[in-house]
Amino acid sequence: MEYGTDERKGKVSVRTLLKMKRKGEKISALTAYDALFASFLDELMDIILVGDSLGMVMAGYETTIPVTMDQMILHTQYVRREVHHAMLVADMPFMSYQISPEEALRNAGRLLQEGGAEAVKLEGGRSVAEAVRRCVETGIPVMGHLGLTPQSIHAFGGWQTRAKSRDEAQRLKEDALTLQDAGIFSLVLEKVPAALAEEVTQSLDIPTIGIGAGPKTDGQILVTQDLLGMYEKMKPRFVRKYTELAGIIREALKQYHQDVKSGAFPSEEESF
């Protein structure tokens, strides 16, 4: 079974995503960090990512770097409880896969075995290819991530667009092919020029998922709290806000506060 264009027909898998690319059907993906949001997303999304972005969105860190394996496992467990249709992917946090392919395999296995993920995502190109290969050989699906890789933010020196120069663009194209050869089932392209993302997408047999990479990738992903207008510390140009929940939430809390102070809440109807 696979997803159709107009209705959900079964569980999304690696095979489903490959078929979607071949048919030219766009892949829709968002992040979730808890069961409540997962329940909303699972009704519609093809992929749900438990991103290490939870460090910034949920924990208040300035970057994703402080996020630990235990945190990723815990939040993946939360999300797992409400995911029945979408493919559940979990991020490999900083230093969980860079030390050695064996360490990468051990931690990826924990995300599947303890967290309930169905696949893992790790950042980087040729330097992580052997870790990817080791996981894939063991039966763990791996999603790649190139372009702006947040775990390398200190090396980049900021959140600027990546692969704008000819040399860096060429390295990214080569890394994409290397990762595909290593066995990734899909590739996130973050904050790279749209023309480059299109070229990479056309060069690969596996689907690409864009975030700030233009409209020609095989799918799109955003942080859910960004598109809902909840997370206000960063306002990336590539985020389309479909609503402004931060203002709505503040107004509701303000009204509650006023009603408690004035004695308007609770009413007789809300009392026993």
Query: Is residue 159 situated within a structural domain?
Result: yes
d(CA 203, CA 32): 30
18 and 151 in a single domain? The answer is: yes
Number of domains composing the chain: 2
CATH at 97: 3.20.20.60
Tell me the catalytic residues: 190
25 and 139 in a single domain? The answer is: yes
The pLDDT score that the predictor gives to residue 1 is: 37
227 and 108 in a single domain? The answer is: yes
196 and 256 in a single domain? The answer is: no
Q: Which two tokens stand for residue 224?
A: 């859910």
121 and 177 in a single domain? The answer is: yes
234 and 270 in a single domain? The answer is: no
Within a 10 A sphere around the Cβ of 254, how many other Cβ atoms?
10
How much is the pTM? 0.94
The set of residues, in sequence order, having a beta carbon less than 8 Å from that of 184 and lying 6+ positions away, is 132, 136, 142, 143, 144, 206
CB-CB contact of 175 with 217 (8 Å): no
Query: Is residue 8 situated within a structural domain?
Result: no
Query: Is residue 5 situated within a structural domain?
Result: no
Query: Is residue 9 situated within a structural domain?
Result: no
SS3 65: coil
| Residue 209 backbone phi and psi in degrees, to 5 | -120, 120
32 and 136 in a single domain? The answer is: yes
266 and 155 in a single domain? The answer is: no
Q: pLDDT means per 10 residues in the chain (272 residues)?
A: 48 97 98 98 97 97 97 98 98 97 98 98 97 98 97 86 96 98 98 98 98 98 97 90 96 98 97 96
205 and 262 in a single domain? The answer is: no
The pLDDT score that the predictor gives to residue 9 is: 60
d(CA 208, CA 100): 26
Residue numbers of the domain that contains 261: 244-272
